[in-house]
C-alpha cells in the first residue's frame, strides 16, 4: 500500500473506530459548532502532532501549526498573516481561555538559525524571513552560552523561541486585554520526543519544569 492509500485506509479505520463509536460527540460538534477552550500553536513537524501527543478528542483543541511554532508580532501592514488570523479567530470568535505555544526538541526551523543564512534564493524565499521572528532567542543563546556545544545551544534556542512567541502574543491588543482581565492564560510548553517528556514554562522560576 502506498503512502496515499495508507491515509485513505486510515480514514476508513477512523470512521469505524472513532467516528461511528463516538457519534454523540460528532453530532454535538456539528449541531452546536466547535467550542474549544484551548488554542495550541505547534510546529508543522510531522513528529509532534498535538492531538496525538495530548490524546485529545475532536473539538478539544484549536490547533495552529507553522514552521517552528512561532507567533509573529502584531503587524497591521498588509500581508497574508495566517497565524495572526488564526489567533484572532481563536481569541475573538471562539473565545478560547488558554493559548499554549508548544515547542519541541530537534526543531528543523530553529536549527536553521544556526546555519548559513541564504535568503531570496530558490528554496529559501519564505523560511529565513519567517524564522527571523525567533532571532532574539538566537541572539540571547549565542551571547549567553557561546562555548556550549551546538546541540545544547539549539535546545536552549527552541525554548527561548517559545518565550519570544509568548511576548509576541502580548503585542496583540485583543490578547493583552484578555490576559489582563484574566479571561485568557498563556502557556509555554516544550516536548522532547527523544525522551518522551513534556516541560512547562514557569514564569516564577523562569524555567521549563518537567511534568511527571
Q: How far is the CB of 24 from Zn ion (least distance, A)?
A: 35
In the complex, the smallest distance separating the C-beta of residue 90 from Zn ion, rounded to whole angstroms, is 20
Q: Choose the binding region for Zn ion from 15-23, 102-110, 173-181, 204-212 (rule: CB under 5 A).
A: 102-110
Site for Zn ion in 41-60 (CB under 5 A): 43, 45
C-alpha closest to that of 124 among 45, 204, 115: 115
**What are 207's strand-pairing partners?**
202
Stretch that binds Zn ion, among 73-81, 109-117, 162-170, 181-189 (CB under 5 A): 109-117
Nearest to 42 by CA among 162, 184, 140: 162
107 is a contact residue toward Zn ion (CB under 5 A): yes
Of 49 and 88, CB closest to Zn ion: 49
Give the residue with the Cβ less far from Zn ion, 110 or 184: 110
CA–CA dist 52, 38 (Å, integer) = 15
The secondary structure of 165-176 as a DSSP string is HHHHHTTSHHHH
**Count of residues that bind Zn ion according to CB under 5 A:** 5
Which of 26, 130 has the CB closer to Zn ion? Answer: 130
Q: How far is CA 139 from CA 90, 128, 153, 161, 162, in A?
A: 31, 15, 11, 11, 14
Within a 10 A sphere around the Cβ of 209, how many other Cβ atoms? 12
Q: Between 36 and 103, name the residue whose CB sits nearer to Zn ion.
A: 103
Contact footprint for Zn ion (CB under 5 A):
43, 45, 68, 107, 109
Amino acid at each position: 500500500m502506498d503512502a496515499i492509500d495508507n491515509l485513505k485506509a486510515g480514514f476508513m479505520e477512523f470512521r469505524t473506530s472513532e467516528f461511528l463509536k463516538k457519534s454523540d460527540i460528532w453530532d454535538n460538534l456539528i449541531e452546536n459548532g466547535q467550542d474549544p477552550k484551548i488554542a495550541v500553536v505547534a510546529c508543522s513537524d510531522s513528529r509532534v502532532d498535538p492531538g496525538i501527543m495530548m490524546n485529545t478528542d475532536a473539538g478539544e483543541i484549536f490547533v495552529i501549526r507553522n514552521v517552528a511554532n512561532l507567533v509573529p508580532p502584531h503587524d497591521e501592514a498588509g500581508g497574508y498573516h495566517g497565524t495572526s488570523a488564526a489567533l484572532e479567530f481563536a481569541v475573538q470568535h471562539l473565545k478560547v481561555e488558554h493559548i499554549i505555544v508548544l515547542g519541541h526538541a530537534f526543531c528543523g526551523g530553529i536549527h536553521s538559525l544556526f546555519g548559513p543564512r541564504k535568503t531570496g534564493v530558490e528554496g529559501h524565499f519564505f523560511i529565513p524571513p519567517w524564522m527571523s521572528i525567533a532571532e532574539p532567542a538566537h541572539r540571547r543563546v549565542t551571547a549567553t552560552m557561546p562555548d556550549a556545544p551546538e546541540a545544547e545551544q539549539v535546545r536552549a534556542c527552541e525554548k527561548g523561541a517559545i518565550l519570544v512567541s509568548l511576548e509576541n502574543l502580548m503585542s496583540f491588543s485583543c490578547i493583552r486585554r484578555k490576559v489582563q482581565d484574566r479571561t485568557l492564560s498563556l502557556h509555554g510548553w516544550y516536548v522532547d520526543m527523544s525522551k518522551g517528556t513534556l516541560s512547562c514554562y514557569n514564569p516564577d522560576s523562569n524555567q521549563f519544569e518537567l511534568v511527571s
